[in-house]
Amino acid sequence: MRFFYLIILSPKKLHTIDNEIIVVGAGGWGTALAMLLGGKGYNVKLWTHEPNIRDEINNLHTNSPYLPGARLPESIKATIDSKDIENASLIVNTVPTQFIRSLYRDYNFPMEGKIIVNGSKGIERKTLFQVSEIFSHSCGVSADNYVVITGPSHAEEVARESPTTVVAASENIELAKKVQGIFMTPNFRVYTSDDVVGCEIGGSLKNVIAIAAGIIDGLGMGDNTKAALITRGLAELTRLGIAHGANPLTFSGLSGLGDLFVTCNSKHSRNRSVGEAIGKGKTINEITSETKTVAEGISTSESAYCLGKKHRVEMPITEEIYKILFEAKKPLDAIGDLMVRQSKREWWW
């Protein structure tokens, strides 16, 4: 058994991580990250609340409902026992944002002193918290023990070891560097950042813009329309990020432009697929009833709409997506209203 040690310079205590890692959430992304870490030789446990998923992973080494076609290393063991969390110093969270608070509370996961590497993207409804804030307020995880890993990284391609680049962001830059080393492979390149706010907002808001991109695809509109959407969507999420104190340069990087581009264009994007179905005439209730997977952009559109109002940030695309999803506005009417808005300078924040 090999060990690596994570030392954080602190007047209070030193943190040590052995090579046992728990990935909480056995969806596609959690499974792909477990495969990546297991392939590097780490002792990985994949926590799920679904006994059938546990049994399939442990007996067949597959996860067909969430990551079809992938073969998991036999070293990866799935568990439904929350006590297994006690043995890991590092938790990789991939639970969808809207369920983080309730799941960690209901299962009473022991969180004291643990390091969280978060892979989920979204903004919590009602509280309007980013994921870092959820873990801080509901689980007592300090900023020094929290890293978000984000960027253009569809689970299906990570599982196939397609070349992928992401960013690991933490207020504790030394921790970000250590997480960089844990996850880095020849096909999974990790950069570091100290802009947690910017990386989380970029990763969350791109899902809203991706729904709009899917609507464009569903309506059969062209490349000009998609390019305009991505460009103005980037401006929109940048405005919200700046209002929260983020570094504007973050949004030209992997967690901004990179993630936005891939999510708006990829066949793997659940959020783009939701939009495409809307563009073809389906209702949001019909779409959500047909799939087990979660499209974070649906709930995030509501949260982002409320954040824009709260901070007086103009977010016209987000506002129109909110109206399409929650007020049954027709997509063509929304596009028309966006096009005839008052004229402006291109850069006006």
Structure tokens at 3: 């060990």
Query: What is the average per-residue pLDDT within 315-339?
Result: 97
Q: Is residue 65 included in any domain, yes or no?
A: yes
CATH of the domain at 238: 1.10.1040.10
Of 194, 227, 242, the residue at which a domain comes to its end is 194
Query: What is the average per-residue pLDDT within 45-55?
Result: 97
Q: What is the model's pLDDT at position 10?
A: 37
Q: What is the model's pLDDT at position 330?
A: 97
Same domain, 72 and 119: yes
* Cβ–Cβ < 8 Å for 34, 74: no
* Cβ–Cβ < 8 Å for 150, 180: no
Give buried/exposed letters for 245-265 (b at 16+ CB in 10 A, else e).
ebbeebbebbbbbbbbbbbbb
Q: Residue 159: left (phi > 0), alpha (psi -120 to 50), or beta? A: alpha
* pTM of this structure: 0.91
Q: What is the pLDDT of residues 117-155, one digit of tens each?
A: 999 999 999 999 999 999 999 999 999 999 999 999 999
How does residue 348 score in pLDDT terms, banded at 50, 70 and 90?
A: low
Backbone angles phi, psi at 22, to 5 degrees: -105, 125
Cite the active site residues.
Answer: 206
Segments forming the whole domain that contains residue 231: 198-339
Domain count, the chain: 2
Q: Is residue 8 included in any domain, yes or no?
A: no
